[in-house]
Structure 1
Amino acid sequence: MRVAAIDCGTNSIRLLIADVDGTNFREIVREMEVVRLGQGVDKTGQFHPDAIARTLAAVDKYALEIAKRGVEKIRFCATSATRDATNRDLFINGVKERLGIEPEVIPGEVEAALSFQGATKDFDKADGPFLVIDIGGGSTEFVFGTDHVEFAKSMNIGCVRMSERHFTGGDADPGQIAAAIEDIDEAIKQAGKVVPITQAKTLIAVAGTATTVAAAGLDLPAYDRYAIHLSRISAEKVHAISKKFLAMKREDREALGYMHPGRVDVIGAGSLVLSRIMLATGATEFVASESDILDGMAWSLV
């Protein structure tokens, strides 16, 4: 069956079209656009009209691709920013008009389960239990289990939310970094009350922050998802990369060959979240996975 999954987060909107048959999975199209739907949501509690316009323009493109590829089933999931926005109906109605389906505003626990399913599919169960970390734009999911989710918690420490809350006005200063660390560490502590974050055998990190940190750790000249997928990045490297990103000027981050333009302003905060999680869990490395919530959504349609 040919299926399409659209994941609309706080920072990016992504499309996966795949043929799924039994245990066989063949990727046809995988696209991403940084639309920053969550622009200002942490502060105002509402979507900005410009952010809705940018996101619906991307949905228009995806609708054309879905029609062209003969997709039989579609699932559209919206996550952290849409959960928080009081004017979310403007966005939801816009998606309905374009795709003819009801977008799901999924709770953090559903997001966690889908991320877990996608992230662990290329691993042997002997590598478990797994802790899957999904650092999004608005929230970060902590998910623990071996062949299914045993514990999950979503915390509002995504890369966009942390950037808007702590790193306003360009380059990060020591005071801002200290305040962000305090905020992040408290959220990790709360997550740790629900999820046994120090008990995993394998720490898997998914989504753009983690894969960008992996690209930096591998010293890639350009973003290469095949080199990044299942790569292992040491905790020492993660801490060093986070410090480097936070200390760099914007134009220097922008010049990195592997850096997506839409991630330049939020990678400092995102890498700091990952660094603090590595410290809190005691993990010596993380495994980067390019399979994530999108893959979990595609499997869920069959």
Structure 2
Amino acid sequence: MVRVAAVDCGTNSIRLLIADLVDGELVEVDRRMTIVRLGQGVDATGAFAPEALERVFKATEDFAAVVQSQAVGRIRFVATSAARDVTNRDAFLNGIEDRLGVRPEIITGQEEAELSFRGATTALDLPQPYLVADIGGGSTELILGDRTGVIAAESLDIGSVRLTERHITTDPTTPAELAAIVKDVDALLDHTTVPLAEARALIGVAGTSTTVAAVALGLPQYDRAAVHHARLTTDQLRAATGWLTTSTRADRAAVRSIHPGRVDVIGAGAVILQRLVDRLPVRDVLVSEHDILDGVALSLT
């Protein structure tokens, strides 16, 4: 047995998983998440904002304290969409290394997809092939695969933060703003290299899918156990997306199952999930709390 720590830093959040690796499987010790909005303004400026770096550094310091207290043997830190093309990424890399003692890996969209697929599908019994949709703040990973591994994967430059910053300026979102989001999503889905029509099951992972599930299920507060492996019908998804894209920010903030850091961006993320489901020959979405973070931890075997 070895105790490992995995850190996933995305456009909107940074997450930590500490687990024991036992016979190739994870036994969870600690899992936590902090909204840092690292991708704040990146779509427009091409650089990390100083205040965004400060938020991620503070969260990393907190994670470092947890890692030190848990006698971790191996650790891996991965960064995804927001960190790939920024002009000041060395400040990010050096700042994380100074605080955690490990240098972040800025992984490619392909590796992100493979890690997400592994984390989401371990021990699942679903019709094959299945499609894993990892909707993040800056990008969306689509991964089609089966029990033998990944068949096709692509990272699309659409995410909840990216689309919100690009199109939404009013509260509530106007029909024109919503139409612009739909147009961007459809443009990329129309030309994805992943054969969506071949999917026989859909697995939605990461914060957008889990938050939409919590809303669709009407949970009084976020309940990880209730969300994990919940099945949302297409009608439930459509109803939740409709509310999330027409409600006011105050309305969404009053729903305790929506993390405060997702209140302003969850509508755009829900649209991505909805437009994807509309193209697939499936009747429901299996929502999973296991995703790239679990894949990173499993990679430390």
Match of residue 253 from structure 1: 252
**CA distance in structure 2 between the aligned counterparts of 1:16 and 1:186, rounded to whole angstroms:** 35
**CA distance in structure 1 between the aligned counterparts of 2:93 and 2:153, rounded to whole angstroms:** 26
Stretches of structure 2 that go unaligned for 5 or more consecutive residues are none
1:136 aligns with 2:136: yes
Runs of 4+ in structure 1 deviating by more than 4 angstroms, as ranges, are none
| Counterpart amino acid of residue 272 in structure 2 | V
**SS at 2:203's partner residue?**
strand
| Counterpart amino acid of residue 285 in structure 2 | F
| Counterpart amino acid of residue 240 in structure 1 | A
Q: Show the 5 A alignment for 1:96-135.
A: 96-124=97-125, 127-135=127-135
| Counterpart amino acid of residue 249 in structure 1 | T
**CA distance in structure 2 between the aligned counterparts of 1:24 and 1:44, rounded to whole angstroms:** 41
Match of residue 296 from structure 2: 297
| Counterpart amino acid of residue 170 in structure 1 | D
TM-score (ref. length: structure 1): 0.97
- After TM superposition, the structure 1 stretch with the greater mean CA deviation from structure 2, 2-11 or 208-217, is 208-217
- After TM superposition, the structure 1 stretch with the greater mean CA deviation from structure 2, 163-172 or 112-121, is 163-172
**CA distance in structure 1 between the aligned counterparts of 2:85 and 2:177, rounded to whole angstroms:** 24
| Counterpart amino acid of residue 48 in structure 2 | F
Please report how far the alpha carbon of residue 206 of structure 1 lies from its aligned counterpart in structure 2 after TM superposition.
0.1
Please report how far the alpha carbon of residue 159 of structure 1 lies from its aligned counterpart in structure 2 after TM superposition.
0.3
1:22 aligns with 2:26: no
Match of residue 222 from structure 2: 223
TM-score (ref. length: structure 2): 0.97
Match of residue 269 from structure 1: 268
**CA distance in structure 2 between the aligned counterparts of 1:178 and 1:169, rounded to whole angstroms:** 14
| Counterpart amino acid of residue 92 in structure 1 | L
Please report how far the alpha carbon of residue 122 of structure 1 lies from its aligned counterpart in structure 2 after TM superposition.
3.2
Q: What is the total number of aligned residue pairs between the two structures?
A: 299
Match of residue 49 from structure 2: 48
**CA distance in structure 1 between the aligned counterparts of 2:119 and 2:196, rounded to whole angstroms:** 19
Q: Show the 5 A alignment for 1:130-279.
A: 130-147=130-147, 148-191=149-192, 194-279=193-278
**CA distance in structure 2 between the aligned counterparts of 1:42 and 1:96, rounded to whole angstroms:** 25
Q: Are the aligned partners of 1:41 and 1:84 in contact in 2 as well (CA < 8 Å)?
A: no
Q: Are the aligned partners of 2:144 and 2:194 in contact in 1 as well (CA < 8 Å)?
A: yes
**SS at 1:281's partner residue?**
coil
Q: Percent identity?
A: 49
Q: Are the aligned partners of 1:95 and 1:103 in contact in 2 as well (CA < 8 Å)?
A: yes
Q: Show the 5 A alignment for 1:32-43.
A: 32-43=33-44
**CA distance in structure 1 between the aligned counterparts of 2:25 and 2:157, rounded to whole angstroms:** 35
- After TM superposition, the structure 1 stretch with the greater mean CA deviation from structure 2, 169-178 or 50-59, is 169-178
| Counterpart amino acid of residue 15 in structure 1 | L
**SS at 2:72's partner residue?**
coil
Query: Could you say what the CA RMSD is over the residues aligned between the two structures, in angstroms?
Result: 1.0
- After TM superposition, the structure 1 stretch with the greater mean CA deviation from structure 2, 30-39 or 167-176, is 167-176
Please report how far the alpha carbon of residue 104 of structure 1 lies from its aligned counterpart in structure 2 after TM superposition.
0.3
Stretches of structure 1 that go unaligned for 5 or more consecutive residues are none
**CA distance in structure 1 between the aligned counterparts of 2:203 and 2:102, rounded to whole angstroms:** 32
Please report how far the alpha carbon of residue 128 of structure 1 lies from its aligned counterpart in structure 2 after TM superposition.
2.0
Provide, for residues 12-59 of structure 1, a one-character-per-residue CA deviation record: whole Å limited to 9, x for no partner. 000000000213321001000000000000011100000000000000
| Counterpart amino acid of residue 44 in structure 1 | T
**CA distance in structure 2 between the aligned counterparts of 1:23 and 1:201, rounded to whole angstroms:** 27
**SS at 2:84's partner residue?**
helix
**CA distance in structure 2 between the aligned counterparts of 1:25 and 1:44, rounded to whole angstroms:** 39
